[in-house]
């Protein structure tokens, strides 16, 4: 697997863990009531902040691990060059991200449609809020999976 | 319907004739990651025109000496999403 694939997989696993943790908390009996939008909004904001912090920490840990592996395999000087190359965001990485984002954004849009449909059907506002959040969470996960897929299968501008 | 082109390249062979230039060295000269050079050599990525020029320049060659386009017979369907 390429360095980009490993980095994306790290991010994907952290994201999955974070979403699972939130889902487990939200399904508990002590979670806020369905119409308490303020409490849900604060909980979601807290979760989003925590998830971003976790992603940053995971990426720092990943790059430290990569540096250690490269240095052990290739020596300090060559290891630094390899790490610098692995961290270069070039046109291929941007193409993979763009292609993945096209699909992911569709899923985020579906979240909005689901939220509106839920409200239309008389579901609690918190359910609609979660449909929106779920759409964005699916977007992030799908983008990660697609980047992995495109990185392995190949991609072109055509 | 116009058949898509498959971009072929001579990068691996040219690296060999350039004193076994490493993928990392070529990546640094072209301003991309080593993974991109690996993907190019495996023909899992078709470069932009700008990158194709930069790679050709790294070998001191014309772009057509490094890259060529084959019509039809796409072997990498997966690469054409």
pLDDT value for A78: 86
Instruction: Determine the pLDDT at residue A50.
Output: 95
Give the whole-angstrom CA distance, residue B66 versus residue B81.
Answer: 24
Contact B43 A154 (CB under 8 A): yes
Please give the mean pLDDT across all residues of chain B: 85
Tell me if chain B has a CB within 8 Å of the CB of A157.
Answer: yes
Per-residue pLDDT of chain A (158 residues; tens, 9 = 90+): 788 888 899 999 999 999 999 988 888 867 777 678 899 999 999 999 999 999 999 999 999 998 898 898 888 888 888 888 888 889 999 999 999 998 888 888 999 999 999 999 999 888 999 999 999 999 999 999 999 998 888 887 76
Report whether B30 contacts B19 (CB < 8 A): no
Using alpha carbons, list the distances in angstroms from residue A69 to A82, A85, B34, B69, B71.
Answer: 10, 14, 16, 38, 42
Residues of A in contact with B32 (CB under 8 A): 88, 90-92
Domains, chain B, ordered by start:
5-63 (1.10.260.40)
Q: To the nearest whole angstrom, how far is the Cα of B7 from the nearest Cα of chain A?
A: 10
Rounded to the nearest angstrom, the gap between the alpha carbon of residue B70 and the centroid of all alpha carbons in its chain is 13
Alpha-carbon gap: A15 to the closest alpha carbon of chain B (Å): 24
Q: Which residues contact A128 (CB under 8 A, 6 or more apart)?
A: A115, A116, A118, A119
Per-residue pLDDT, B2: 75
Helix (H, G, I), strand (E, B) or coil at A20: helix
Residue B79: predicted pLDDT: 44
């Amino acid at each position: 697997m390429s360095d980009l694939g490993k980095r994306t997989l790290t991010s994907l696993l952290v994201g999955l863990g974070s979403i699972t943790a939130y889902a487990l908390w939200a399904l508990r009996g002590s979670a806020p009531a369905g119409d308490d939008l303020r409490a849900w909004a604060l909980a979601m904001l807290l979760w989003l902040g925590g998830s971003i912090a976790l992603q940053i920490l995971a990426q720092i840990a990943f790059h430290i691990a990569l540096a250690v592996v490269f240095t052990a395999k290739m020596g300090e000087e060559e290891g630094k060059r390899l790490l610098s190359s692995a961290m270069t965001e070039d046109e291929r990485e941007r193409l993979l991200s763009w292609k993945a984002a096209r699909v992911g954004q569709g899923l985020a849009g579906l979240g909005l449609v689901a939220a509106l449909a839920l409200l239309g059907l008389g579901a609690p506002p918190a359910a609609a809020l979660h449909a929106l959040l779920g759409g964005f969470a699916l977007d992030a996960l799908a983008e990660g999976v697609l980047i992995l897929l495109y990185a392995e299968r190949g991609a072109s501008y055509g | 319907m116009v058949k898509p082109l498959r971009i072929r390249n001579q990068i691996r062979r040219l690296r060999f004739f350039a004193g076994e230039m490493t993928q990392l060295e070529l990546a640094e000269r072209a301003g991309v990651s080593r993974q991109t050079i690996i993907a190019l050599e495996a023909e899992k990525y078709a470069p932009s025109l700008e990158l194709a020029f930069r790679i050709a320049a790294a070998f001191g060659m014309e772009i057509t000496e490094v890259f060529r386009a084959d019509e039809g017979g796409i072997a990498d369907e997966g690469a054409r999403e």
